């Protein structure tokens, strides 16, 4: 099968959309599929071009059997609604142009979280007369509206119309949570056109391992207890509670809080930490993907935080699966919903109410006070993820769905 995949993000970028696209695409290529990915110049989240890349209209790479076509992109940091929107729109346009340099596929796939990439995929599928599959990784524009990043009702209405148009124009839709199925079906889309493919883990990369002593020494963290948040430092996560928890535990010399990543909220949080004089809180910035398992292994407790908003009842952060695979203690602060339900069903972590500093501090202290319970839940998490969330199986599930879409399209052709 010839697969043409449009994604705004791709490695060496290290966010969840880039990782998911790469992990699936490389497995499809290994299974004998012909995979082309159209993406932009790597610059997320700082807006700075990654080393080894140039500002050219088109660049071609071969990455683990994947043909990667990189288009020119307006570079901007992951902050500021107008600049990010311009970044999204221009990538959609250049991705359509880049598609003329790709061979005619059997299926065109485009992935969210923003739908300008989806629009580009729909246009490319029309130009190439091939079926279109939309991958929905986030409910957009619901998420940006609830985060307060967009308030203009006419713009919101226009984006919701685009959302519905894309759902209806797609021959198939892939989602990564059950709640998304209900949302999309509520827009009049038949459930049989929707396929659930969860996020998951590569067990060769994420598995139980000892602390990375070299990593700890390099950052002066030997002998410290570590509470770590790893991921986007953005508006979705309510990371002010980490600031407050660090202040509450500032006299416990053994604990240090780490925020590992970049995002729109980092500057504000760093400023607040400096104003409070928190020497037990460190911002380590964006780290290479290959370093992440070492940080997971070296942390005593891993924090998964979401704000108390209705849209976050529908999501499951991909980092959860990686933490479970490495058999680690997890504190999940999230609204009641699919993510929290999964953690409770697996008995694989400590759920607390979102944006509740007192509950966060108590959960961190519980990790020290109840080592046997921590070990039991961490083991349950590893067993849970290994039983049903391996990338090989999930990639093949999605490839099977793409093949069914292609087969339906061929049967329907005159």
Q: Which residues are within 8 A (CB) of 232 and not within 5 positions of it... i.e. 6 or more apart? A: 15, 45, 78, 261, 262, 263
Greatest C-alpha distance within the chain: 74
Distance, in Å, from the CA atom of 115 to the CA atom of 25, rounded to the nearest integer, reads 20
Distance, in Å, from the CA atom of 322 to the CA atom of 306, rounded to the nearest integer, reads 17
Reported pTM: 0.91
User: For the segment 8-19, what is each residue's pLDDT rounded down to a tens digit?
Assistant: 999 999 888 999
At 329, phi and psi to the nearest 5? -75, 130
Of 313, 251, 314, 238, whose CA–CA distance to 279 is shortest? 251
User: For the segment 174-185, what is each residue's pLDDT rounded down to a tens digit?
Assistant: 999 998 898 889
N- to C-terminal Cα separation, the chain? 21
Distance, in Å, from the CA atom of 168 to the CA atom of 191, rounded to the nearest integer, reads 12
Of 134, 140, 89, whose CA–CA distance to 113 is shortest? 140
**Tally of CA atoms within 13 A in the half-sphere of 376 that contains its CB:** 6
Q: What is the pLDDT of residue 381?
A: 95
Distance, in Å, from the CA atom of 207 to the CA atom of 330, rounded to the nearest integer, reads 15
Query: Domain spans of the chain?
Result: 2-200+390-412, 213-388
Q: Residue 30 — very low, low, confident or very high, per pLDDT cuts 50/70/90? A: very high
User: For the segment 245-287, what is each residue's pLDDT rounded down to a tens digit?
Assistant: 999 999 887 899 999 999 888 999 999 999 999 999 999 998 9
**In Å, how far from its chain's centre is CA 259?**
17
Burial (0-12, 13-18, 19+ Cβ within 10 Å), 186:
exposed
Q: Residue 138 — very low, low, confident or very high, per pLDDT cuts 50/70/90? A: confident
Of 45, 338, 5, 59, whose CA–CA distance to 180 is shortest? 338
Q: Per the omega criterion (within 30 degrees of 0), is the bond before 159 cis?
A: no
- Give the DSSP H/E element, type plus range, for residue 189: none
Q: Do domains 2-200+390-412 and 213-388 have the same CATH topology?
A: yes
DSSP code for 50: P
Backbone φ/ψ region at 50: left (φ over 0), alpha (ψ -120 to 50), beta: beta
**In Å, how far from its chain's centre is CA 74?**
22
CATH of 213-388, one of 3.90.79.10, 1.20.1250.20, 1.10.760.10, 3.40.50.2000: 3.40.50.2000
Sheet holding 2-6, edge to edge: 58-63, 66-71, 34-40, 2-6, 107-111, 132-136, 172-175, 194-196
With 80 as the cut, is the pLDDT of residue 109 above it? yes
Q: Which residues are within 8 A (CB) of 292 and not within 5 positions of it... i.e. 6 or more apart? A: 14, 230, 322
Of 245, 226, 230, 222, whose CA–CA distance to 300 is shortest? 226
Under 8 Å between Cβ of 402 and 3: yes
User: For the segment 299-324, what is each residue's pLDDT rounded down to a tens digit?
Assistant: 999 999 998 888 888 889 999 999 99
Under 8 Å between Cβ of 90 and 57: no
Distance, in Å, from the CA atom of 258 to the CA atom of 278, rounded to the nearest integer, reads 12
| C-alpha dihedral (401, 20, 147, 267), degrees to nearest 10 | -170
With 80 as the cut, is the pLDDT of residue 145 above it? no
Under 8 Å between Cβ of 150 and 81: yes
Above pLDDT 90, what percent of the chain?
70
Average pLDDT, the chain: 91
Q: Per the omega criterion (within 30 degrees of 0), is the bond before 12 cis?
A: yes
**How many Å is the Cα radius of gyration of the chain?**
21
CATH 3.40.50.2000 for domain 2-200+390-412, yes or no, is: yes
Q: Are strands 301-305 and 225-230 parallel, antiparallel or unpaired?
A: parallel
Mean pLDDT over 371-378 rounds to 95
Distance, in Å, from the CA atom of 314 to the CA atom of 177, rounded to the nearest integer, reads 7
């Amino acid at each position: 099968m010839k697969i043409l995949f449009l994604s705004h993000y791709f490695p060496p970028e290290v966010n969840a959309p880039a990782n998911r696209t790469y992990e699936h695409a490389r497995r499809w290529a290994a299974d004998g599929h012909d995979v082309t990915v159209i993406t932009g110049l790597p610059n997320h989240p700082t807006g700075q071009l990654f080393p080894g890349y140039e500002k050219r209209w088109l660049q071609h790479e071969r990455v683990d059997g994947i043909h990667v076509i990189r288009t020119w992109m307006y570079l901007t940091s992951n902050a500021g609604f107008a600049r990010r929107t311009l970044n999204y729109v221009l990538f959609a346009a250049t991705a359509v142009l880049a598609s003329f340099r790709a061979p005619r596929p059997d299926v065109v796939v485009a992935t969210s979280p923003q739908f300008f990439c989806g629009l580009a995929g729909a246009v490319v599928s029309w130009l190439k007369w091939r079926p279109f599959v939309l991958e929905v990784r986030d409910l957009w524009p619901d998420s940006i509206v609830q985060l307060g990043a967009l308030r203009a009702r006419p713009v919101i209405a226009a984006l919701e119309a685009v959302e519905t148009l894309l759902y209806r124009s797609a021959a198939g839709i892939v989602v990564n949570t059950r709640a998304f199925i209900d949302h999309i079906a509520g827009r009049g889309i038949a459930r049989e056109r929707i396929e659930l493919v969860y996020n998951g883990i590569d067990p060769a990369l994420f598995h139980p391992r000892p602390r990375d002593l070299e990593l700890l020494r390099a950052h002066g963290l030997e002998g410290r207890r570590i509470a770590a948040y790893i991921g986007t430092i953005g508006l979705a996560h309510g990371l002010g509670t980490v600031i407050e928890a660090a202040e509450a535990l500032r006299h416990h010399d053994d604990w240090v809080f780490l925020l590992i990543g970049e995002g729109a909220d980092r500057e504000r949080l760093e400023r607040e930490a400096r104003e409070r004089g928190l020497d037990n809180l460190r911002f380590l910035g964006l780290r290479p993907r290959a370093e992440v398992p070492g940080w997971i292994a070296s942390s005593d407790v891993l924090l998964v935080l979401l704000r108390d908003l209705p849209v976050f009842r529908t999501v499951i952060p991909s980092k959860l699966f990686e933490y479970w695979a490495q058999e680690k203690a997890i504190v999940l602060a999230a609204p009641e919903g699919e993510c929290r339900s999964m953690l409770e069903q697996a008995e694989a972590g400590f759920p607390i109410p979102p944006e509740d500093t007192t509950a966060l501090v108590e959960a961190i202290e519980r990790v020290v006070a109840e080592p046997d319970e921590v070990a039991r839940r961490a083991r349950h998490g590893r067993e849970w993820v290994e039983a049903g969330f391996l990338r090989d199986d999930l990639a093949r599930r999605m490839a099977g769905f793409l093949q069914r879409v292609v087969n339906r399209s061929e049967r329907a052709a005159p």
